[in-house]
Amino acid sequence: MLILECPYCGVKAEETELQAGGEAHLKRFGPGSSDDDFHDYLFMRENPKGVHFERWRHVNGCGKWFHAARCTVTLEVFGTYTAQTSTPPQALLDAISEKRPGWTWREFADASTSHNGEEVAD
């Protein structure tokens, strides 16, 4: 069972207290954007085997949205952070790099191999 720490109220909450909200840091494409961007925004989601960034809501607690970094293969939780950002905190990225050297996720990647990170963000 997943246990995530809510960054607002500090409660270590398990799954039944939380609601999963899908991929984190989506950039919204609306009217005026290209068909491809709109399609990707609506239907394409990251589905990585490994490091993943997601939105969660502390639905049966403080009710607030927050972000979490998690491994989809082991269910290890790397950390949580507030919703008021479009970039995960550097300390968290470094912590992930230590545990999963060479990881990439969209435009984010292990800093020591970040030149690879450009290729996967299509």
Shortest spacing between CB 20 and other proteins, in angstroms:
4
Residue 19 as a binder of other proteins (CB under 8 A): the answer is: yes
Residues 23-62: x/- map of binding to other proteins (CB under 8 A)? ------------xx--x--xxxx-xxx--x-x--------
Residue 120 has a CB neighbour count (10 Å cut-off) of: 14
- 56 and 19 in contact (C-beta within 8 Å)? yes
CA dist list (Å): 15 to 54, 61, 71, 76: 14, 12, 15, 14
Binding residues (CB under 8 A) for other proteins: these are: 1-2, 15-16, 19-20, 35-36, 39, 42-45, 47-49, 52, 54, 70, 72-75, 120, 122
